[in-house]
A and B are shown apart, each in its own frame.
Chain A
Amino acid sequence: MRPGNQKGQAMIEFAIIGSTSLLALAFLIQIGLRMNYQQEIEQQTFRLALRRAQDEGDKESQAILYQHIRDREIPEPSSEPTIMPRTSTQASSAVTWGEWLTFLADDRDSQPRVVVHVNDTRADDFRSGDFEGGKEGVKKDAPKDAPLVSAIHNQFTSTGQLTQASGASSLSSSSSASTTVTLKNGKTVSGSASASCSFSGGSWVCDGP
């Protein structure tokens, strides 16, 4: 029989190695998913901008500046089990759909369109002139190169419940995000995302982004 102190040492070693291993695996998954989602939003934003530029009328500039924010579910090693926290990913893209040179009237339509897409909300009635100095909500001496987005407010909520009963156990998890973007001219765009998952009877049922 082993002395008591050796048994304790084995337990400690197992606890250290086991938790370190799980932490390494969790971090790998977290970083991998984050990189994947970032690549996805960059590609998707360019294609959405392309589509939107093509949809413009012949008397419009057919130029788009697309700002896209999506709050994705990415697990974190530091969060509780069954919780699926969200992380914000964002990308922007500028596309000019030009098949020929156009000479437009010096009006609102001649200005590039600015689209702000936050989760499930897409605001596409902004024009680049709306953000120039002196326009509504913009200071006259505001620097021209100031970023389009001046503030982002995220509110993420995640819940999880594990129920164990004799003969059956079930697990349910839900997460939601509400994000508000404040633009250079003081206007705001808000969008939300929510998803829920449940495990019961040996199968997962999930819905939502």
Chain B
Amino acid sequence: MRRTVMNFRKGQVLLEFGIACFGLVMFIYVLLQAWVWLSGTIVRRQASFQHSRLEAGKRATAGKKVPYRPGRDTPVRFDLF
């Protein structure tokens, strides 16, 4: 096939479309991961609060702090590959 201006443009559009799709997928992935982490910390902290209720109500350990710490117990991870 002869290399024309039109063919060259078609190739470029395809390349741009591919890059844009990849960027879009990556963006949605990062957005979802961030949302999953943020909502997951709320659930885990609530579970931790429930599990430490009995201890927090005892005289010896009254007001025990909620043991869950988001950054340490659930590190932010983006497992891409």
Contact = CB atoms under 8 A, between A and B. Distances in A.
Given A25-B34, A28-B34, A29-B34, A35 B63 contact: no
B46 A25 contact: no
Contact of A50 (B42, B56, B70): B56
Interface of A: 2, 10, 21, 24-25, 28-29, 32-33, 35-36, 39-40, 43-44, 47-55, 97
A49 B16 CA distance: 59
Interface residues of B, number: 24
B63 A32 contact: no
Contact of B46 (A21, A39, A51): A39
B contacts with A: majority SS: helix
Contact of A39 (B16, B27, B45, B63): B45
A43 B46 CA distance: 9
28 contacts: A10-B16, A25-B30, A28-B31, A28-B38, A29-B34, A32-B35, A32-B39, A35-B38, A36-B42, A39-B42, A39-B46, A40-B45, A43-B45, A43-B49, A43-B66, A44-B65, A44-B66, A47-B56, A49-B63, A50-B56, A50-B63, A51-B62, A52-B63, A54-B59, A54-B62, A54-B63, A55-B62, A97-B62
Interface string B64-80: 11100010000000000
